[in-house]
Structure 1
Amino acid sequence: MATKNVPDQMKAQVLEEYNTPYTLKTLPTPQLTSENDILIKVDAAGYCHTDAVLAAGQMKPNPPNFPHIGSHELAGTVVAHPESPSAAAESVPIGTRVGVPGRGYHVCGTCFECKSGNEDDVGYSNRCPNGLSNGLSKNGGFAEYAVVDARQVAVLPDSMTAVTAAPLTCAGVTIYNALKRCRLNSGQRVGIIGAGGGLGNLGLQFADAMGLRTTAVDAADGPLQVVKSLGTKASIVDARATSAEDVVQQVGKEDKKTDRADMGLDAVIILPESQRSFEYGVELLRNHGLCVVVSFPENGFQVSARDLVFRDISVVGTLLGSRSTLQEMVAFAAEHNIKAVSRTYSLDKLNDLVDQYNKGEGGKLVVDMALT
Structure 2
Amino acid sequence: MKIQGLAAKTSGAELEPYSYEAPSPQNFQCIIKVLSCGICHSDLHMVDNDWEMSNYPIIPGHEVIGEVIEIGSQVNHIKVGDRVGIGWQRTSCLSCRDCLRGSENLCDEMQALIATGPGGFADYLEVDSRFAFAIPDGIKTNVAGPLLCGGITVYSALRYAGMGSGLEIGVIGVGGLGHLAVQFASKLGNRVTVFTTSKDKAEFAHELGANETVIVEKNQPPSAPSQPLNILLSTVPASIDWASYIDFLDSDGTLTLVGVPDAPLSIPGFPLLMKRRRILGSVIGGRAMMQEMLSVAERYQIEPIVEIFPMEKVNEAMEKVRNNQVRYRAVLSHQL
- Give me the TM-score of the superposition, normalised by structure 1: 0.83
Q: Aligned partners of 2:267, 2:117: CA distance in 1, in Å? A: 34
Is 2:181 the partner of 1:216? no
Distance apart, 1:223 and its partner CA: 4.6
Shift of 1:126: 2.9
Whether contact under 8 Å (1:29, 1:145) holds in the other structure is no
Equivalent in the alignment of 2:51:
59
Structure-1 residue corresponding to 2:12: 19
- From 268, 271, 284, the equivalent of 1:304 is 268
Superposed, which structure 2 residues align to 1:356-371 within 5 Å?
356-361=320-325, 362-371=327-336
Instruction: Show the counterpart of 2:102.
Output: 119
Offset of residue 127 of structure 1? 2.4
Q: What TM-score does the superposition give when structure 2 sets the normalisation length?
A: 0.91
Note the 1:243-322 alignment, pairs <5 A.
246-248=223-225, 251-252=226-227, 264-276=228-240, 278-279=242-243, 281-297=245-261, 299-322=263-286
> Within 2, Cα distance between the matches of 1:166 and 1:277?
33
Query: CA deviation digits over 1:248-274, x for unaligned, max 9?
Result: 3xx14xxxxxxxxxxx21110111121
5+ residue gaps, structure 2: none
Tell whether the 8 Å contact from 1:270 to 1:277 is kept in structure 2 after alignment.
Answer: no
Contact 1:99 1:166 in 2 (8 A): yes
- CA deviation profile, 1:74-95 (whole Å, cap 9, x unmatched): 111101113xx21xx2221110
Relative to structure 1, the CA distance from residue 245 to residue 126 in structure 2 (aligned partners, 3 Å threshold; closer, same or farther) is closer
Distance 2:219 2:193 in 1: 13
1:281-320 C-alpha deviation (Å, 9 max, x unpaired): 3342234321111123464433322332344320011121
- What is the CA–CA distance in structure 2 between the aligned matches of 1:245 and 1:300, rounded to whole Å? 20
Shift of 1:16: 1.3
Per the alignment, residue 234 of structure 1 pairs with 211
Identical-residue share of aligned pairs (%): 23
What are the Cα deviations for residues 58-85 of structure 1, in whole angstroms up to 9, with x where unaligned?
A: 224xx12110111111111101113xx2
- In 2, Cα distance between the equivalents of 1:286 and 1:173? 25
- Kindly provide the amino acid, as one letter, of the partner of residue 232 in structure 1: G
> Could you report, residue by residue, the CA deviation over 1:199-225 in whole angstroms, capped at 9, with x for unpaired residues?
111111111111010011222466546
Shift in CA distance, 67/98, structure 1 to aligned 2, threshold 3 Å:
same
* 1:354 counterpart = 2:333: no
2:149 is equivalent to residue 170 of structure 1: yes
Q: 1:150 Cα shift? A: 0.9
Map of 1:326 onto structure 2: 290
Say if 2:51 is the partner of 1:74.
no
* 2:79 alignment counterpart: 93
Deviation at 1:34, TM superposition (A): 3.9
Does structure 1 conserve the Cα–Cα contact (< 8 Å) formed by 2:68 and 2:82?
yes
Q: 1:308–1:148: structure 2 CA closer, same or farther, 3 Å change rule? A: same
Counterpart AA for 1:51: D
Give, in whole Å, the separation in 1 of the partners of 2:242 and 2:21.
43
Change (3 A) 1:185 1:338: closer
Name the CA shift for 1:223/1:31 in 2 (closer, same or farther; >3 Å). farther
Counterparts of 1:363 and 1:118 in 2: how far apart (Å)?
33
Unaligned stretches of 5+ residues in structure 1 = 1-7, 253-263
Distance 1:268 1:100, change over 3 A: same
Q: CA deviation at 1:326?
A: 0.9
1: CA distance, partners of 2:269 / 2:198? 30
The secondary structure found in structure 2 opposite 1:77 is: strand
Q: Distance in 2 between matches of 1:174 and 1:180?
A: 10
What amino acid sits opposite 1:65 in the alignment? N
Which position in structure 2 is the counterpart of 1:41?
33
Of 176, 190, 194, the match for 1:198 = 176
- For the aligned residue pairs, the C-alpha RMSD in angstroms reads 2.3
Amino acid at match of 1:325: M
Asked whether the 8 Å contact 1:74–1:141 carries over to 2, the reply is yes
Partner Cα distance (1:49, 1:224) in 2? 23
